[in-house]
A and B are shown apart, each in its own frame.
Chain A
Amino acid sequence: MSPKKKRAIGVLFLVFLIVLWQIISLIIGKSYLLPGPVDVVENIWENRIEIFTVHLPATLQVVVSGGIISVVLGFFLAMIMDMDRRVEKALYPVLTATQTIPVMCIAPVFVLWFGYTVTMRIIVVVLLNFFSVAVNVFDGLKSTNTGRTELMLTYGASRLQRFFLLRLPTALPYLFTALKVVVPWSFVGAAVSEWLGAPSGLGIYSRNCMAQFDAAGLLAPLAVLTVLALILNGVIYLAEKKIITWKGEV
């Protein structure tokens, strides 16, 4: 099947689900219980100024800062684990342990420490994401071909040269795999942390709507977040296609 056909099937299925959602909502006929997609879009349009000028910028600040910090921190951890086996032995179990604690349960602790601040929300995003970057990049660095490493040694390459000229490019496809996880989870992390409490943000907007039993208002910001995450992921896919032209060849 051609990639175009595959994409068309994906889009058609999505359209089918949205139409189905609308039909079910019409059949039930109680928009406070199950608003249809049309209700959600109407709500976004009615509250467009508040959503796009107040809440969306606040959420994006957390998503972007948290996402970037996750990538930098995860990358740094992968690098130091790759450089020294002792660091790997010491760090890896601790990193794994951080992932066994549900973020929703630990997040209130950050509220205690940092209050309802941007810092608290960024920490939640980082906690959700840095591990997948660290593990993926670390696996990527470890997947370096031994023959190529030995070839570099015969060229007299220093450790730094081996890292930048061989190990890093080898790990780059793995970094993209991690980025595809980081983008949606940064949105999830930001929304979850805002639900705990925040002066502004799509998460808190959604929670406030829930308090008013406004189901369409609850779903509206989530729909905006979903569309944005999909667009950003698309950008990552395109960048990957453009940069990693050798995918699968290493």
Chain B
Amino acid sequence: MGHVLGDAKIIMLKFENITFTYKGEENPVLKNLSFCVEDKSFVSIIGASGSGKTTIFRLLNSLEKPDSGNISIDGKNIENLKNYASYMPQQDLLFPWRTVEKNVMLPMQIQKKTKQEQVRIAGEILEKVGLYEYSKKYPRELSGGMRQRVSFARTLCQGADIMLLDEPFSALDSITRINLREWLREQWENLDRTILFITHDVEEAIYLSEKILVLTGNPVDDIIEIKVPLPKKRDRNMLEEPDIRDLKEKLIELLRSEAKE
């Protein structure tokens, strides 16, 4: 579901005039920042290191409170919501004492779903991410890429319509990264969910997203929105097309100039 605005676009997430300063710091990280994410879209946020990408997620997850401004999901202020977003952290953060299945069941266990329901949903989702046969394995028995897929399955089990993915592939080797990038895009096509994805990798952002939000300013006070001119069905070769290469160069230049500021 989503919140319909005047221009008839369905908005899932709205970040309105947010200013935020970390405790004990003088200067804000974000200043009067606003942006929207449309329902069922795949949107990436990119920005130079330390630009405030993760801060945006911390605010969205209510781990921090903004100094001023409003964050709403599906038209409702997040202050009054519970379980409104599914979050996938940078590291997999799987619990080593739990099997793959039990890790995936964790959010549902916290939501106090029945045991049968937990097992059924976890089974379905593990099947979907191609890890059903690893249900009874422990995280230490899996490769880095598989662990991230388990982490993604766990995020799906949280069940919210919007998923917040915080640089989930940053710790992986380049081949696994490329494989998982393609895998994630396929997952999203079949999922019917909104994904907000943080990355510092320009190519990853282009390949995955419909729209890219580039954080600008120090403190971040504006966002440049860039629509990715790629069709829904994508493959890696499309990244070599001239207009996509131009877009990549443009984004890199933009990030470089931001980093210098």
Contacts and interface: CB of A to CB of B under 8 A. Distances in A.
B96 A246 contact: yes
A155 B110 contact: yes
A68 interface: no
Contact of B91 (A147, A154, A246): A147
A161 interface: yes
Given A147-B91, A245-B97, A154 B111 contact: no
Nearest to A145: B93
Interface residues of B, number: 22
B93 A151 contact: yes
A161 B85 CA distance: 19
A107 B75 CA distance: 68
A169 B85 CA distance: 26
A239 interface: no
Interface in A202-241: none
Interface string A139-154: 0000001011011111
B63 interface: yes
A156 B159 CA distance: 13
B89 A156 contact: no
Nearest to A247: B96
B165 to A, nearest CB: 13
Nearest to A150: B63
A246 B140 CA distance: 8
A157 interface: yes
A151 B110 CA distance: 12
Interface in A148-207: 148, 150-157, 161, 165-166, 169, 172
Interface string A80-115: 000000000000000000000000000000000000
A238 to B, nearest CB: 18
Given A151-B89, A152-B110, A166 B95 contact: yes
A144 B65 CA distance: 23
B132 interface: no
B87 interface: yes
A106 to B, nearest CB: 39
A interface SS class: helix
Contacts of B91: 147
B109 interface: yes
A250 interface: yes
Interface residues of A, number: 20
Nearest to B57: A154
A250 B61 CA distance: 24
Contact of B93 (A148, A165, A169, A172): A148
Contact of A155 (B63, B83, B96, B97): B83
B23 interface: no
B82 interface: yes
Given A148-B95, A156-B82, A246-B140, A165 B106 contact: yes
Contact of A165 (B85, B110, B138): B110
A161 B93 CA distance: 17
B63 A246 contact: no
Contacts of A156: 82-83, 110-111
Contacts of A148: 93, 95
Interface of B: 61-63, 82-83, 85, 87, 89, 91, 93, 95-97, 106-107, 109-111, 138-140, 158
Interface of A: 145, 147-148, 150-157, 161, 165-166, 169, 172, 245-246, 249-250
22 contacts: A145-B93, A147-B89, A147-B91, A148-B93, A148-B95, A152-B110, A153-B61, A154-B61, A154-B85, A155-B107, A155-B110, A155-B111, A155-B158, A156-B110, A157-B110, A165-B106, A166-B95, A169-B95, A169-B97, A245-B138, A249-B96, A249-B140
